[in-house]
Amino acid sequence: MAHAGELAGGNFRARLAVTGGSEFGQLSRHINDTAANLQRTVEQLQLEHSELERLERIRKDFVINVSHELRTPLASIQGYTETLLDGALADPQYNMRFLGIIRHNAERLARLTEDLLTLSRVEQKRQKLEFEPHSIGGLIEESMDLVRPIAAKSSIRLETELDAATPEVWCDGEAVSQILSNLLDNAIKYTPAGGSIVAGAYPAGRFVEVFVRDSGAGIPAEDLPRLFERFYRVDKARSRELGGTGLGLSIVKHLVGAHNGTVRVESRVQEGSTFFFTLPAEEAALPKETAVAVSAICTNNATIGEVRAS
């Protein structure tokens, strides 16, 4: 009977000895079944609890990160405004330079808030995506055209490499343009003058795989698993200097996830990086309504989960 005491005390792993088919034996079996059910429920609740704790930690980290990111440019704007008001405004040697710094930081704040709003819209599924058949070659060309002037300035060659068998993709045209422009912007930012960038696509089963390959700086292997996390940067100072917010790749990950696709990256330091993402080649491969909601929750918080990095 000691086990009965344990059950009553909350140890649902304890079991009563079952003695034959007597009424007492049947009662013991029922109690044991109930204990097993309770044990499963307790384990489930424990799992949910630790998941909630994990989500709360992620939320807190995010708030801390955002505050840090906003604080630096704000402090700079405040500092230089004070200096100008304290007399530097009349000093032709400094006034234009300080105003330039203020403008630079204001632009950084604008980019940051813009990216934060985009990310929260995508994460919370408030951005209604309209899935339609599109030519991926056309979308790649359009995005390439947008960055051509910036690439030309850095003497970076742009090329496309489209497999002739690539079918149309089912996607939201604007979302895919945003994905491509984030990847192309990065490729340009992290590729030195004289380098080259190739974007293209090829069929991959029920999906089409799209890639953006650069001959740039590359990414150390140890950074690859965390690359798609919000605010993760290999070189913080360099990213800031280049006008980065650290949110571009997490926006990419979420937009690709909303299409039921996956993202991955291959990279070698000094040789370059290739970012890949998949898009459905048929309507049936798009997320179902419920699947969208579920994947929204999962991708929100996943880090390496759906990101294969090599």
Q: Partners of 212 in the beta sheet? A: 199, 275
In this chain, which of 105, 112, 214, 264 binds ligand ADP, going by CB under 6 A? 214
In this chain, which of 35, 156, 180, 234 binds ligand ADP, going by CB under 6 A? 234
How many residues make contact with ligand ADP (CB under 6 A)? 20
3-class DSSP assignment, residue 277: strand
Q: How far is the CB of 265 from ligand ADP (least distance, A)?
A: 8
- Parallel, antiparallel or unpaired: strands 207-214 and 272-280: antiparallel
What does DSSP assign to residue 16?
P
Burial of residue 194, with CB atoms counted within 10 A of its CB: 0-12 exposed, 13-18 middle, 19 or more buried: exposed
Question: Does residue 239 interact with ligand ADP by CB under 6 A?
Answer: yes
In this chain, which of 200, 248, 261, 280 binds ligand ADP, going by CB under 6 A? 248
Residue 281 C-alpha from the chain's centroid: 22
Q: How far is the CB of 280 from ligand ADP (least distance, A)?
A: 24
In this chain, which of 32, 118, 178, 186 binds ligand ADP, going by CB under 6 A? 186
Question: Does residue 235 interact with ligand ADP by CB under 6 A?
Answer: yes
Which tokens hold the place of 69? Answer: 């990111």
Q: What angle do CA 104, 105, 110 make, to 5 degrees?
A: 100
Question: Does residue 249 interact with ligand ADP by CB under 6 A?
Answer: yes
Question: Does residue 219 interact with ligand ADP by CB under 6 A?
Answer: yes
Q: How far is the CB of 135 from ligand ADP (least distance, A)?
A: 25
Q: Partners of 158 in the beta sheet? A: 197
Q: 184 vs 17, 140, 242, 307, CA distance in Å?
A: 68, 10, 14, 19
Q: How far is the CB of 187 from ligand ADP (least distance, A)?
A: 5
What is the rounded CA–CA span in Å between residue 261 and residue 267? 20
Q: By CB under 6 A, which span of 29-37, 117-125, 151-159, 243-251 interacts with ligand ADP? A: 243-251
Binding site for ligand ADP (CB under 6 A): 186-187, 190, 214, 216-217, 219, 227, 232-235, 239, 244-249, 273
